[in-house]
Chain A
Amino acid sequence: LVPPPRLRELIRTIRTARTQAEEREMIQKECAAIRSSFREEDNTYRCRNVAKLLYMHMLGYPAHFGQLECLKLIASQKFTDKRIGYLGAMLLLDERQDVHLLMTNCIKNDLNHSTQYVQGLALCTLGCMGSSEMCRDLAGEVEKLLKTSNSYLRKKAALCAVHVIRKVPELMEMFLPATKNLLSEKNHGVLHTSVVLLTEMCERSPDMLSHFRKLVPQLVRILKNLIMSGYSPEHDVSGISDPFLQVRILRLLRILGRSDDDSSEAMNDILAQVATNTETSKNVGNAILYETVLTIMDIKSESGLRVLAINILGRFLLNNDKNIRYVALTSLLKTVQTDHNAVQRHRSTIVDCLKDLDVSIKRRAMELSFALVNGNNIRGMMKELLYFLDSCDPEFKADCASGVFLAAEKYAPSKRWHIDTIMRVLTTAGSYVRDDSVPNLIQLITNSVEMHAYTVQRLYKALLDDISQQPLVQVSSWCIGEYGDLLVSGQCEEEEPIQVTEDEVLDVLEGLLVSNLSTPVTRGYALTAIMKLSTRFSSVNRIKKVVSIYGSSIDVELQQRAVEYNALFKKYDHMRPALLERMPIMEKTATNGPTEIVQTNGETEPSVLDTKHPPPVTQPANQVRGVIISKYAGLHLCNLYIGIPPMTAYNKNGLKIEFTFERANPNPNIAVITIHASNSTEADMTDFVFQAAVPKTFQLQLLSPSSNVVPALNQGTVTQVIRVLNPQKQQLRMRIKLTYTHKGSPVQDLAEVNNFPPQSWQ
């Protein structure tokens, strides 16, 4: 009978395959042969067959039928079998397979084998992939081996113990006695693994941490010996003695010194020594320095040492090796909050890193730069960052733009500078700014009253150049709509006023409406802007014409607006000037839901959703003009449901509740109802809570009320927004429950609201 091909023979054969199909065929053939060989329980060639299976597994082919065979190999007495068996187990088996547990007994036996290499295989396998059950069963054996004098086994047992502790943290205690004299070992392998074990224990348990603090002097001594001792060929790496051990000791010291003054003091000298004496020409020395810096920054070190650490990082930034620069930036980012001034000293080097070729370095340099911006360096820093924004990869532009806006908002030296900066961002990275930038910028511009003429002029000029960047176009449209009168009257003080006619302006806006580059949202902005100009320009007829054309636009959103604006011209012309008046100063607030900036008219306190004193309802124009700027959707004039009159939902005992309607864009199935609760009695209604319920086919969302006190004598209203989802367009009905305290007594009432106008749900 022909023996099965050897492993390397098979590898050679498979590599001659010229196509994937050919390879697959060979593999299938061999797998079939191996399978039958397994079935025949052939002991001789089992090892060879499993090895071949492992090769095929690495190529990506299924090998699960070999799992049991691995177990048989592990159970064999032959070392070759065990070696391949354990390898197979580590590659093919994982915790999830039940078969995994069958290994436990074999491993237990092998942990007690007479040959240390067999014991080593068992320890390695257990420490690499032992499940919690296995760890529980075998922890005792591992603990025994941790106390052996055989350093070959002791070092493996230590790492195996680390794995056991990770899997079954409760077992940590049992390893404590064995750790007693681990650090007195001379063998570096044992030392290294012991330090890893101690680190694991200290990280997991505060008790262990306090217990092991007494090891600090010993660790310091070991580290000192490593640095001071002469050349040791066995452990030398480029002139440094056992860098791996040095790094692990430094890391353990970090954990022991953290939040403990005495330990931190005890390690102060050695840290300074390592920091100043370590050779920095090669990566290995820098690896140690890096770990040292991390330790210095994390423990309670004195300020001189901290400055030393940051200076090391500063030197790293100048290193030719980009890996070193990378870790320096990462570390500086972590320390910039706590050691801000020290990091500031390296600002120019950091800014230079913006020009680095490596993407990760650039990103870190950008983040760090933003962290270092303050009132003193804003102008210089912004210049660099804007330059970076111009030339950086698209993946950075959004974050950089946001960073610039934030920094500008915090530290802008002047309003003009602020607006110029925003303009620069919009024109260079306009397509990348986040959605919420548009309403934020609109608010900023609105509030910079003295800059209106300058702003609209600059934005207009920008539009002439480029209409492809939507956020820029949206902000510009809005501004032109608001301040178009300043534009044509040439009132700009900051720079040379441009000469532009009303028709030219309308040309530009109409151009936006027809351009393929404009998104539907942008078109909405443009149309609204044109409409607003009807009260600022004299060419009202032209505007009327445009508006009526779009009354039959395919775009439903545009159509709806156009129809309403038409209605404004025809039926509500007397209200038009008030409605389209200049926006007053806005105040931004944060609520639980999307940020809403609620517009009010004139000098009264801005009404926000949770102020205690909602403004008095004055003109009808106010009610109809609900301008809500949603954080994510940009600015819309909400569809003025002038067609739907408000309704009285409830009127009893002096409490009157009126509903006003809007439709939420873009979902036409959602009706947005605002309740207005007013109180005509002489006493306030306190603890006012409005609740609503709808039939099953609807969904209801109640936003926060403006207040829970309805003031007496109609001095104010409590408003609250209800959103009703009505996908089946059924008749809207609602049951409401009112609770409040009036003149000291609690009042509760239930009512049905059935008189919804059909337009609110059709």
Chain B
Amino acid sequence: MQFMLLFSRQGKLRLQKWYVPLSDKEKKKITRELVQTVLARKPKMCSFLEWRDLKIVYKRYASLYFCCAIEDQDNELITLEIIHRYVELLDKYFGSVCELDIIFNFEKAYFILDEFLLGGEAQETSKKNVLKAIEQADLLQENIDFQMRLFAGNFGGKPNNPCCSIRSVALDVNSPPQGQQKQHPSNINTDFEVTGLLFSLISQPSCLK
């Protein structure tokens, strides 16, 4: 896979993952052209098109287009499954994911993608394992934050202090802890309220294959 783009029906970019080295200018140009091309497609058309010397595989889930550029020897049909798997991961993580989730938590969308694909290829084919890894990483992040907040008051200074060493004691992260209480993904840093929930990306039966 050379790159993956997520964009809305108005052509707004929600995520861009590039697996080939290109300048910012080139990326912008490609994005603009491709978004235009895909948005011009009618619903009855198939999910594949030829563009420059690449094959483009795209699929719309609710208000978001997922668009991948693959090479000649890659399998288009399995790429559709890759896209679907990514959507399932997002859905499981956010709980009935919608476009707003991805807008407001774009960095999480990237983290999830980076646990699923690496260098354009799938690194993990088990849904469970990808989600577990994300959970653990989130926990790692939160525990530090939590510890930070806990001790910030006492030390009264910058959080760049010995509380970091507490982290490694509190959590042995090399073997994923069993039976650890599953925390809903970092709402600690989320301070907005969801207004106007769009359709969930997966709730429509036609998406389920």
Q: Are B209's CB and A238's CB within 8 A?
A: yes
C-alpha gap A188/B129 in the complex (Å): 10
Considering the complex, give the chain A residue whose CB is closest to the CB of B55. Answer: A330
Q: Give the CA-CA distance A8 to B105 in the complex, in Å.
A: 8
A189 interfacial by beta-carbon distance below 8 Å: yes
**Is A305 part of the binding interface, using a Cβ–Cβ cutoff of 8 Å?**
no
Chain A residues within 8 Å of B140, by CB:
79, 115, 117
Contact of A188 with B137 in the complex, beta carbons under 8 Å = no
A335 within 8 A of B: no
B22 touches A291 (CB 8 A): no
User: Given A284-B209, A290-B75, A78–B136 Cβ distance below 8 Å?
Assistant: no
Give every chain B residue within 8 A of A54 (Cβ-Cβ): 106-107
B142 to chain A, nearest CB (A): 9
Do A116 and B174 have beta carbons less than 8 Å apart? yes
- Check A244–B125 contact: CB distance below 8 A: yes
Q: How many residue-residue contacts, CB under 8 A, span A and B?
A: 191
Are B118 and A159 in touch, CB under 8 angstroms? yes
Q: Is A168 an interface residue (CB 8 A)?
A: no
Judge whether B96 is part of the interface by a CB distance below 8 angstroms: no
Partner of B119, one of A115, A162, A243: A162
The chain B residue sitting closest to A363, CB to CB, is B50
- Name the segment of B62-70, B189-197, B198-206 touching the other chain: B189-197
Say yes or no: A79 contacts B48, CB within 8 Å. no
Assess A80 versus B145: contact at CB under 8 Å? Given A8-B190, A128-B19. Answer: yes
Q: Which residues of A contact B16 (CB under 8 A)?
A: 58, 91
CB distance from B139 to the nearest CB of A (A): 10
Which residues does chain B contribute within 8 Å of A115, judged by CB atoms? 140, 173-174
Shortest distance from the beta carbon of A84 to any chain B beta carbon, whole Å: 7
**A147 contacts across to B, CB distance below 8 A:** none
Q: How far is the CA of A115 from the CA of B144 in the complex (A)?
A: 14
A6-B189, A79-B144, A358-B46 known; A155-B123 Cβ under 8 A:
yes
B10 at the binding interface (Cβ < 8 Å): no
On chain B, the number of residues with a Cβ less than 8 Å from chain A's Cβ atoms is 66
Partner of B21, one of A94, A235, A242, A245: A94
Query: Given the interface contacts A94-B21, A159-B123, does A244 sit within 8 Å of B118 by beta carbon?
Result: no
A135 and B28 CA atoms in complex are apart in Å by 27
Interface size on A, residues (CB 8 A): 79
Q: Are A192 and B77 in contact, CB atoms less than 8 angstroms apart? A: no
Q: What residues on A are CB-neighbors of B125 within 8 Å? A: 188-189, 192, 235, 242, 244-245
Q: Tell me whether chain B's interface is mostly helix, strand or loop, or mixed.
A: mixed
A7 and B75 contact, CB distance less than 8 A: no
How far, in whole Å, are A322 and B76 apart by their CA atoms in the complex? 13
> Interface on chain A toward B: helix, strand, loop, or mixed SS?
helix
B154 at the interface (CB under 8 A from A): no
Q: Tell me if A146 counts as interface (CB < 8 A to partner B).
A: no
- Given A58-B13, A160-B119, do A283 and B81 touch, yes or no (CB 8 Å)? yes
Q: Known: A80-B141, A323-B47. Is A58-B106 also a contact (CB below 8 A)?
A: yes
The smallest C-beta distance from A288 to any residue of chain B, in angstroms, reads 8
B118 touches A156 (CB 8 A): yes
Q: In the complex, are the beta carbons of B76 and A327 less than 8 A apart?
A: yes
Whether A78 lies near B164 (C-beta < 8 A) is: yes
Per-position contact with A for B89-103: 1 when CB-CB < 8 Å, else 0? 000000000000001
Taken together as a complex, chains A and B put the C-alpha atoms of A80 and B189 apart, in Å, by 12
Cβ contacts under 8 Å, A51 to chain B: 107
Nearest residue, chain A, Cβ from B48? A326
Q: Say yes or no: A12 contacts B192, CB within 8 Å.
A: yes
Report B-chain residues with C-beta under 8 Å of the C-beta of A91: 16
Which residues of B have CB within 8 Å of A15? 103
Chain B 46-57 interface mask (CB, 8 Å, partner A; 1/0) = 111110000000
Partner of A9, one of B123, B128, B160, B192: B192
Do A357 and B158 touch across chains, with their CB atoms under 8 A apart?
A: no
Binding site for B on A (CB under 8 A): 6-9, 11-12, 15, 43-44, 51, 54-55, 58-60, 77-80, 83-84, 87, 91, 94-96, 114-117, 120, 123-124, 127-129, 131, 152, 155-156, 159-160, 162-163, 188-189, 192-193, 196, 234-235, 237-238, 242-245, 247, 251, 282-284, 286-288, 290-291, 294, 322-327, 357-361
User: Which B residues are within 8 Å of any A CB, using their own CB?
Assistant: 13-16, 18-19, 21-24, 28, 44-50, 73, 75-78, 80-82, 85, 103-107, 110-111, 114-115, 118-119, 121-129, 133, 136-137, 140-141, 144-145, 158-160, 164, 168, 173-174, 189-192, 209
- A83-B111, A128-B19, A357-B44 given; name 14 further pairs at CB < 8 Å: A8-B104, A8-B189, A8-B192, A78-B144, A128-B118, A129-B18, A189-B123, A189-B126, A196-B121, A234-B127, A237-B81, A244-B78, A322-B45, A358-B46
17 A-B residue pairs with CB within 8 Å: A44-B159, A58-B15, A94-B24, A95-B21, A156-B118, A188-B126, A193-B121, A234-B128, A243-B78, A251-B75, A283-B209, A287-B75, A294-B75, A323-B46, A323-B48, A323-B77, A361-B46
| 8 nearest CB pairs, A to B | A287-B77, A189-B124, A322-B46, A127-B119, A159-B118, A287-B78, A95-B21, A244-B125
